[in-house]
Structure 1
Amino acid sequence: MSPEQPIQQTPRRINPADAKMGEAARLDAIAAQLMAVQRHWNDPNREFYLAAALKASRDAWHAIQTALAEGVLTLPLEVQHNLLILSVYADSKISSCEAISSADTLGSLIALTRTLASSLKEWRAAA
């Protein structure tokens, strides 16, 4: 093979189970980021870290909505519906945290994020 030839990559279909585990790991990481902000609530740079954590959270929840819309998360229809409702609810929690930042409002977003991450892991194990 000469250096001028482009390397052909075989298209790889995303395994739905891999997508679920990827989102679960992402949500776990975001929950940890949110918990760090909560633990260090009196830190002088809290606003910066809070904004970054909330942006990461919103991005993750929107990614879940996109995956549902594109059919990547092949879950039972009822579960997809519930997941969509949760993602919209999470978005409202994120907006609440932005508007009225308190450790308590952040706590409810953390709980929701951790619960969904655990649920996705359980779905992966059951698949």
Structure 2
Amino acid sequence: MLANQIKEYANIQKEALTGRELEASVLTRAAQMLKHCQDNWNAPDREKKLQEALKFNQKIWSFFQAELSVPDNPLPKKLREDILSLSLFVDKRIFEIIAFPESEKLTIVIDINMNIAAGLRTGPGDDI
């Protein structure tokens, strides 16, 4: 019963979030998944958790790449290009971690996700 209530709450929360808030939430979740792996690097289920976290991050950044590649995307061209460039860096780092896993390599992806999420939570014209 409680699991159904939690699931229902999560669905309502998703519906209430704006696009920017949802993107920030997803990036934060992705960063937290990676951070959990980093903090528990010697855990027996690390390989499974790491693969899940990396796959989740890949999906997010692939989505961003697809959205930013759409010709009528409303973001300024320079910003789109910069985020696409960043997404290529994240892709490269994820593949590097898959091939040669090291906990330190997660830090940059965690930081990027958290910084982008923070920027998304700051509305245009908000004081930083």
Q: What interval of TM-score do these two structures reach, taking the shorter chain for normalisation?
A: 0.7 to 0.9
- Structure 1 residue 72 displacement after superposition: 7.3
- Shift in alpha-carbon separation, 1:47–1:99, aligned structure 2, 3 A: same
Mapped pair 1:97 → 2:97: yes
Structural RMSD (CA):
1.9
Between 1:99-108 and 1:44-53, the stretch displaced more is 99-108
Between 1:82-91 and 1:69-78, the stretch displaced more is 69-78
- Structure 1 residue 116 displacement after superposition: 1.6
* Structure with the higher helix share, 1 or 2: 2
TM-score using structure 1 length: 0.78
Q: Percent identity?
A: 28
Mapped pair 1:126 → 2:121: no
- Structure 1 residue 70 displacement after superposition: 2.8
Structure 1 stretches lacking a partner, 5+ long: 1-16
Larger radius of gyration: 1
**Secondary structure, aligned partner of 2:18:** helix
TM-score using structure 2 length: 0.77
The 2-side partners of 1:105 and 1:116 are apart by 18
Measured against aligned partners, the alpha-carbon deviations of 1:19-75 in whole angstroms (never above 9, x if no partner) come to 332211110110011101111111011000000000000000001011112357522
Q: Is the 8 A contact 1:23 1:64 kept in 2?
A: no
